[in-house]
Amino acid sequence: LADNADVALVNFYADWCRFSQMLHPIFEEASNVIKEEYPDKSQVVFARVDCDQHSDIAQRYRISKYPTLKLFRNGMMMKREYRGQRSVTAIADYIRQQKSNPIREVQDLEEINSLDRSRRNIVGYFEQKDSDNYRTFERVANILHDDCVFVSAFGAISKAERFSGDNVIYKPPGENAPDMVYLGSLTNFDLIYAWTQDKCVPLVREITFENGEELTEEGLPFLILFHMKDDLESLEKFQQEVARQLISEKGTINFLHADCDKFRHPLLHIQKTPADCPVIAIDSFRHMYVFPDFSDLSVPGKLKQFVLDLHSGKLHREFHHGPDPTDVAPGQPIQDLASSPPESSFQKLAPSEHRYTLLREKDEL
């Protein structure tokens, strides 16, 4: 059911958990309220997963605390979990909001010229609303509306932009940034979703105190560039090298950049201060590892090796035991330095029962 519904809210719970028990009747009642408004099961579904009985499902969706409410659209899990109040009204409102149309329809092409150019905008020009092309566009907008602004124009209004048929374009941030046109099939959901996601979700995202928790919940380690806010040159270099060396690692690690000044505390974990920036580090949620020298960034393959060494366990091993020996005589113990890599600074945000948070550190700065 959850796979086919436009919107599914799934309650991952454990019977022994007091908060899960408290949520049950509320979740049940919210489900009944919404069922009256959306009786069609293809529109909205409420579902529950007992994580003790279905630990494989809990693992697949990286559930590590109970209860966790996750939103799915057409079977695809959304990154942001439900974090609102656990009341019937709040949950029902949240679902209504998810069902509201994420696409603004313009009545005049002049409105396109006055779009907020500090945002990422996706504009669709369609002959008619009742078409497969538009329905695919709608599905994409439903999933990515937190990351981009979606706008559409129809019929006579959009005619000037449809000289070769229906058309979708991306307007990147910046007053004079040139438009980019989607050239693939408009009915191929996977293609247009991949293209739109690539435009709406930058490869290297900024981590802030506000979104730190959300990024942590994606469950992937961080590769972070710490740079001074006005040092855009280092950021550009980092973005280029990530795109050049690490595009194949996209699903295994999150590429982020952070303001050195705001994130003094995480820097302290690796014995650095803003004066040392730019600094590149990996946070595995257990430990932090520093990329030895920022100027090595452009050495082909060096950044990629750093990330591969995390995945293979080499960073952890070398921190404890010194550089990997080339050959060890049988029975020869490897010297243990008995120290440990600096602790993760985002571990406090990482899903766990002990959820005090990095955000507190903001007040100590």
Q: Tell me the average pLDDT across 224-235.
A: 94
Does 233 score more than 60 pLDDT?
yes
The reported pLDDT for the residue numbered 357 is 33
Q: Is residue 2 part of a domain?
A: no
Does 340 score more than 80 pLDDT?
no
337 and 314 co-located in one domain: yes
Residue 346 half-sphere exposure, CB side, CA atoms within 13 Å?
A: 29
75 and 126 co-located in one domain: no
Does 362 score more than 70 pLDDT?
no
C-alpha distances out from residue 197 to 147, 148, 210, 328, Å? 9, 9, 21, 48
Q: Is residue 219 part of a domain?
A: yes
287 DSSP β-pair partners = 343
The reported pLDDT for the residue numbered 118 is 87
Q: Is residue 31 part of a domain?
A: yes
Q: Is residue 363 part of a domain?
A: no
144 and 213 co-located in one domain: no
Query: Cα–Cα distance between 14 and 90 in angstroms, integer?
Result: 22
118 and 241 co-located in one domain: no
107 and 89 co-located in one domain: no
Q: What is the CATH number of the domain that holds 276?
A: 3.40.30.10
Query: Cα–Cα distance between 245 and 157 in angstroms, integer?
Result: 44
Domain range holding 225?
205-358
Higher per-residue confidence, 1 vs 125: 125
Band (176; pLDDT cuts 50, 70, 90): confident
Total number of domains in the chain: 3
319 and 350 co-located in one domain: yes
Q: Tell me the average pLDDT across 208-214.
A: 84
299 CB contacts (<8 Å, ≥6 apart)? none
236 and 117 co-located in one domain: no
Phi, psi of 72, rounded to the nearest 5 degrees: -120, 145
pLDDT, one tens digit per residue, over 106-155 is 999 999 988 998 889 999 999 999 999 999 999 999 989 888 999 999 99
How many residues in total does the chain contain? 365
Q: Is residue 313 part of a domain?
A: yes
Does 50 score more than 90 pLDDT?
yes
113 and 254 co-located in one domain: no
The reported pLDDT for the residue numbered 327 is 37
